[in-house]
Amino acid sequence: MLKVVVLSYGMLTKQINELEYNIPRGIHFKIIDVDVDNVMNVAKSLEDNNEVDVFVSSGANARRIIDYIKKPLISIKVTGFDFLEALYKAMKTKGEIALLSYKNTIKEFKNINA
């Protein structure tokens, strides 16, 4: 049995949980909501207890564990389209919009000012 563990946080966890998907036979799929301060301990514990064959993560969590885990990591990349989709949804609400990013920025958004 292949053990796939998603180490996620906040909105990504919510989005994954809202997806409709069928896990193929022979795959154990687990989603763990964990913040960047605790992701290292969780990843190491999963490895130490042989509870994972492949990690899936994104952003800060993926960067935090990449150099310390032994198992493969599939890193989910956020694209400019993801930001545009979020901005489109935000524009339907009242109030100001802020674009926050951890470490990496999207250079095309640098010159956008509201």
pLDDT number for residue 1: 94
Round to whole Å and give the CA distance between 100 and 106.
11
- Give the count of beta carbons closer than 10 Å to the beta carbon of residue 98: 7
- Ordered alpha helix ranges (H), 8-111: 11-18, 39-48, 59-65, 80-91
Which of 102, 39, 28 shows the shortest CA–CA distance to 67? 39
- Identify whether the C-beta of residue 57 lies closer than 8 Å to the C-beta of residue 30: no
Break the chain into its structural domains and give their ranges: 2-76, 80-109
pLDDT number for residue 113: 59
- Identify whether the C-beta of residue 90 lies closer than 8 Å to the C-beta of residue 114: no
CATH entry, 2-76, from 3.30.420.270, 3.40.630.10, 3.30.420.40, 3.40.50.2300: 3.40.50.2300
- Identify whether the C-beta of residue 61 lies closer than 8 Å to the C-beta of residue 103: no
pLDDT number for residue 59: 84
Query: In tens digits, what is the pLDDT along the chain, a chain of 114 residues?
Result: 999 999 998 877 888 888 888 889 999 999 999 999 999 999 999 999 999 999 999 888 999 999 999 999 999 887 777 777 878 888 888 878 776 666 666 666 666 655
Residue 28, CA distances (Å) to 2, 4, 12, 67, 87 in order = 6, 6, 19, 24, 35
